[in-house]
Amino acid sequence: MEVTALIAEDEPLLAENLRAELATAWPELQVTAQAGSGTAAVELALLHRPQVCFLDIRMPGMTGLEAAQAISEDWPDVAGALPLFVFVTAYDQYALQAFDAAAADYLLKPVTPERLAQSVSRLQARLAQPAAAAATLASLQELLTRAMTPVARLRHLQAAVGDAIELVPMDDIVYLEAADKYVRAVTAERDYWVRVSLRELLPQLDTERFWQVHRSTVVQIDAVARALRQENGTVLLELRRRPEKLTVSRVHANRFKAL
């Protein structure tokens, strides 16, 4: 059976080497797209809709993990099952057991023919199952966060208000929304703009209270009144102190289920 794949790797020699090794280990595999950045990987994956994505973890701009999350969230319903994600990394501090638990597979650089053959067998087995599921990125993110160096949890955000710096207690924040190099911090009464990226802010949040529900949205779970499941696999959150509803992507929807 012909299977299509995408390779995302910012080092051209490594990308070509992986492509050549795959041609030997899996002759039926057709590499239909090759990307040099995470952003390009997302665009090409949504265009070509491969069945397997080999994503380097560390790429400029958007990491492989962020690219996989973006692909999963923007994947068209008509395209069927999400692709299987294989993460490629040169850094074993990323807790490789986490990759086993939440991704289709991982490959440690330099990729050896023996390890690649094992990965090919695993992927072929997953693809042979009609209901094969893609990686649960939410659990992978959580495991990776635990593997990183702990940092002090934020108690306040510092937001510029005119000529002053206002300290916004984390208890007052209903949700956080990414906006380029800023984060929009929304309270019951007003919005604040904080000059920091959501990526930089995430490791400093208390993950028991602040849940990432979309690649651009984090909500304080105590501010959620109810979760409404949608037919397309997403979830809508109704808030206690705000009129708007927040969309939970399919990647994170499994966090909202009846106990």
- Tens digits of residue pLDDT in 105-114: 888 888 899 9
Length of the chain: 259
Shared domain check, 7 and 120: yes
Shared domain check, 243 and 117: no
Q: For position 15, which CATH number holds? A: 3.40.50.2300
Cα three-residue angle 181-184-186, rounded to 5 degrees: 170
Q: 175: closest CA among 230, 244, 253, 249?
A: 244
Shared domain check, 120 and 14: yes
Shared domain check, 226 and 104: no
pLDDT score at 200: 86
Give, for 87, the enclosing helix (H) or strand (E): strand 84-89
Cis before 60 (ω within 30): no
DSSP-derived letter for residue 130 is T
The residue type at 71: I
- Tens digits of residue pLDDT in 129-178: 755 444 445 555 555 555 455 556 889 999 988 889 999 999 999 999 99
Shared domain check, 125 and 12: yes
| Alpha helix stretches (DSSP H) within 28-131 | 38-48, 64-74, 96-102, 113-127
The residue type at 205: L
Domain count of the chain? Answer: 2
Shared domain check, 68 and 127: yes
pLDDT score at 258: 61
Cα three-residue angle 140-39-148, rounded to 5 degrees: 30
Cα three-residue angle 132-133-135, rounded to 5 degrees: 135
Shared domain check, 126 and 53: yes
- State the residue range of the domain holding 82: 3-147
**Which of 117, 147, 177 finishes a domain?**
147
Taking the mean position of all CA atoms in its chain, how far away is CA 21?
27
- Any idea which residue has 């996989």 for tokens? 68
Could you list the mean pLDDT of each consecutive 10-residue stretch along the chain, which spans 259 residues?
A: 92 94 96 96 96 91 86 82 86 52 74 93 85 50 52 85 92 94 95 91 89 94 94 89 93 75
